[in-house]
Amino acid sequence: MSEANVTLVFVPRERFSYTQESLESIYKNTHFPFNLIYVDGNSPGHIKQYLENQSQEKGFSLIRTNQFLTPNQARNLGLSHVKTKYVVFVDNDVLVKPGWLAKLVNCAEDTGSWLVGPLTLAGSDFKTVHMAGGTTEIREKNGKKWIVQKRPYMNLPLAKVTHEIKKGETGLVELHCVLALTKAFETIGLFDEQLMSMCEEDDICMEVAKTGNKIYFEPESVISYVSPSPSQIDWSDLPFFFVRWSDTWCQKSITRCIIKWGLTEDSPFFRHTEKFVRDHRFLLVPRPKQLLNYVNYAVKRLLLLVILRKIMNWKASQSFSQQNATLSNNLV
């Protein structure tokens, strides 16, 4: 779309199996002109084929790599092809509500903000708050230098806090979906690729804050992040998922954040980060009750196969006996 002043850059967050639902949500619920660049970081074959077909049908740009990408690597790769005034980074497991993009762009135009974040919910039902603005800042006390982060309303039912959520300046936006002024990256630099799995949103927000430019929260733009479920495992997601949430990627991110911002290692923020990664990594590991259900399913399936094989063997033996009887009669 030549008249578009915004480009959507789709990137893989932690899996690939929600690609179709997310992409279809964008095209169904976005009526504001946009360009789209899809960064495909080594998705499995069936997703790769789907994206190739969709890029031809819908006319978006598709960038494919044959290795997994960190989210920041994917964002930078997509950003290098952006020619529009604004860029919106969108994870590949996000759903959107009608009007979401127009509200982000209009907010940026009205406020001159370098970053604008939507109201980010959790789940396909759009009922739980995940991100509604917040703060991230560095504080010094007793010789310690910590990141202190606040996320109001997180995990609360949207229905209970809708009247409290207001548009305004914020210190923190999530990277599930965020609009940025493309020229801002000429000042703050690209996304830090040494932040491999964590601290990315804190880093870019603090970089913008250093320049004195605005970050805005626009609650009339509504999107939702859909977390994977152990009851609906797509096995092709697992290789990327476990690399994405590996201790290696997490620790490299924390080390980079400590060095870059001169932080103290014992910050509660980093302990929380490590706990989140450990907990999230086991999100796709069945709990005891679920594991028991899987075992029961496997046992029942095995018994069914044994019974079917016995039936088939019995039918085969019956057929063989009838053939022998017919042959004997013919010989007599």
Q: What would the pLDDT profile of 164-205 be if each residue is shown by its tens digit?
A: 999 999 999 999 999 999 999 999 999 999 999 999 999 999
Q: What does the pLDDT look like over 109-122, one tens digit per residue?
A: 999 999 999 999 99
* Domain segments of the chain as ranges: 6-281, 288-332
Top CATH class of 6-281 equals: alpha beta
Nearest Cα neighbor of 92 from 117, 74, 66, 113 is 74
Q: Return d(Cα 91, Cα 175) in angstroms, integer.
A: 8
Q: Return d(Cα 151, Cα 267) in angstroms, integer.
A: 17
What pLDDT score was predicted for residue 46? 96
Which pair of tokens denotes residue 89? 């980074």
Is the model's pTM score more than 0.95? no
Per-residue pLDDT, averaged over 37-64, amounts to 98
Q: Return d(Cα 159, Cα 155) in angstroms, integer.
A: 12
What pLDDT score was predicted for residue 327? 46
Sequence-ordered list of residues with C-beta below 8 angstroms from that of 304, at least 6 positions apart, any chain? none
What pLDDT score was predicted for residue 300? 61
Sequence-ordered list of residues with C-beta below 8 angstroms from that of 20, at least 6 positions apart, any chain? 50
What pLDDT score was predicted for residue 231? 74
